[in-house]
Every structure is written in structure tokens, then in C-alpha cells.
Amino acid sequence: MENMFINEAINELKTLQDMLRWAVSCFESENIYYGHGTDNPWDEAVQLILPTLFLPIDSLAENIKEAKLTWSERKKIIDNIMLRTKKRIPVPYLTNKSWFCNYEFYIDRRVLIPRSPFGEIINNNFKNIVSHSPKFILDMCTGSGCLAIASAYVFPESQIDAVDISADALAVANININNHFLFHRIKLIHSDLFLHIPIKKYDLIITNPPYVNNEDMRNLPKEYLHEPHIGLLGGNDGLNFINRILFIASDYMNENGILICEVGNNIENLKKKYPNIPFTWIELNNGGKGVFYLTFQQIIDSKQYLIY
């Protein structure tokens, strides 16, 4: 029955507009979960179909919507729609494309799909957080390299070290760094957090570490289970990596340094564990939550409360 449904779609749907409409209908009927770059079926359809046709994501003018597609193009699109709805595979893993801070990134299953509220902070040029252009930036748990690359555009004079424990993730980050011609400014380091980083004083440390706790991990939508668990799971309370970062970060910061860290929905866990640490929670207006910053001096003053 499903094969008949698919064959009918391939034979009857002729134009790009037809495919977009059909994809939206499929997404609505299958009740898929959004959260990997879109929040609605139309944007999801656009981000699946246009890259599948090797068209720019902003090329959806009226004249192209009526463009007729070849049989092989229609089949490829419908195959991807089926993978998205039946297997719950996120769109960026089907197209190998994702967008963060309006920049395009290569993405595959070796890395998490970019979606951090850090994007709003970067788009606002770190307003009211970083008061001067940092010379040295550390991006801890870089994954695809999206934070390091987007920050490099904000601070064109900075040198950035991008660190990850996953050699696979660093391979993807290297692709993106080269695609953005930033290989002369961003250095990749293979390390378990700070373990293999030479002592260096950074002006800014940004980090989006794994922070999903065990309970939340068991309840994640199917779409997230296609992502590498090493990039998600932060231990029983979700704070394993955050504890280590807080404990060691000041050794790698200069006296005017800033640490910015995403903890997602672990805000209350973190506050409960460290009630005496003066986290400044960044106001986010475009979705997402749980990003704080601390100054070097605040971390030093809080050393007595930190638990490795």
C-alpha cells in the first residue's frame, strides 16, 4: 500500500510547488518533531527539498515554484520525505546542510545539528557581555565548529582554538572551517575538555557541552536519537562536563576573561548545586534558555564551592 502511495506521488506531483505542498501534508499527518533548525512544516519542507535539488535555500521565487521536476528529482525528494517521516531522520542528516547565524554548514551524523541559543548571542555581537574584541577565544566542545566559525565573523581579529573529544566531530569541523576559509584563524584541538590543551590565557571561552541528563535522554523525541549520544549525554544530573569546565576554566582565562556556557534545561539543577555562584543568566528573546556567563574573578571567588 505504501509503495502505491509513493509511486502515485512520483508520477502525479510535477512541480516544485507540488512537492512542497505534499511534503507539508506528510509532515502534518505524521506528527514529526521539529527542533533541528525549523519549528514548522513549511520551513522543514523548504530546507529538505531545495538542498535536495541543489538549489540555494533563498531561491524560492514564484517563477521557480512552477518549475517542472524530472522523475529522478521527484523520486529523490519523496525518498527523503519518507526517511524524514517514517525513520524520523532530521533533515540536515538527509541534505548534509544546516544554517546557524545565517551561515551554511556541512553536517552529517558525526556531529550534533546546530541549534543553540548561542546563535542569538552571536548575532547580537555578544552585546552587554563582551566589552572588547577578544584576541584569543576558546570554543570548548566545538562539534561542527559552528560557534567558532560564527564567532570568527563577529571578531575578525581573533584567534580561536576549537576543542572536541571526538575525532569524528573535528573532521566535520575541519570541513566547515575550510568551507569558510578560516583555517588561518581557527585551530582544532583533539582533547577531553582541557586535558590536552597547552596552558593559554583566553579572553573568551564559549562552550555548549553535553548536558542532557539520564532521565531526559530516555524521553527525547526519536529525531534526537539519530544524533551522536556523546554530544548529548551529560550524566545522571546532566552536569558532569559543566562541573569540570567550571573547576578548570579559570586556569585558562586572563584576568578580564569571560566564560559563556549553555546548560539548557539544567538551570535549576545548576542553581541548586551551586547556590553561592553568581551566574548571570543571559536574556534570550528568540527561543532557547539556559546560557550563563561568569567573569574570571567570579570563578576565582567561587572556587571553594566548585565540585570536580
pLDDT digits (tens, 9 = 90+) for 82-103: 999 999 999 999 999 999 999 9
**What is d(CA 223, CA 27) in angstroms, rounded to the nearest whole number?**
13
Task: Give the per-residue pLDDT at 2.
Answer: 66
- Average pLDDT value for residue range 278-290: 90
pLDDT of residue 138 exceeding 90 = yes
Q: Cell numbers 533563498 label which residue?
A: 58
Task: Give the per-residue pLDDT at 254.
Answer: 96
- Average pLDDT value for residue range 65-81: 93
* Whether the Cβ atoms of residue 49 and residue 21 lie closer than 8 Å to each other: no
Q: Does the predicted model carry a pTM greater than 0.75?
A: yes
pLDDT digits (tens, 9 = 90+) for 194-230: 999 998 999 999 999 999 999 999 999 999 999 999 9
Q: Cell numbers 552529517 label which residue?
A: 108
In the three-class reduction of DSSP (H, G, I as helix; E, B as strand; rest coil), residue 193 is classed as: coil
pLDDT band at 253 (very low <50, low <70, confident <90, very high): very high
φ, ψ for residue 8, nearest 5 deg: -60, -45
- Average pLDDT value for residue range 29-48: 94
- Average pLDDT value for residue range 235-249: 95
> What is the secondary structure of 23-42 as a DSSP string?
HHHHHHHHTPPP-SS-SSHH
Task: Give the per-residue pLDDT at 32.
Answer: 96
Q: What percentage of the chain carries pLDDT values higher than 90?
A: 86
**What is d(CA 247, CA 249) in angstroms, rounded to the nearest whole number?**
6
Task: Give the per-residue pLDDT at 66.
Answer: 87
pLDDT of residue 3 exceeding 70 = no
Domains of the chain (ranges; CATH) run 1-95 (no CATH), 111-305 (3.40.50.150)
pLDDT digits (tens, 9 = 90+) for 118-132: 999 999 999 999 988
Residue from 182, 253, 179, 169 nearest 208 by CA:
169
What dihedral do alpha carbons 126, 290, 115, 235 form, nearest 10°? Answer: 130
**What is d(CA 241, CA 271) in angstroms, rounded to the nearest whole number?**
16
**What is d(CA 249, CA 166) in angstroms, rounded to the nearest whole number?**
20
pLDDT of residue 1 exceeding 50 = no
Task: Give the per-residue pLDDT at 5.
Answer: 66
How big, in percent rounded to 5, are the helix, strand and coil portions of the chain? 45, 15, 40
In the three-class reduction of DSSP (H, G, I as helix; E, B as strand; rest coil), residue 150 is classed as: helix
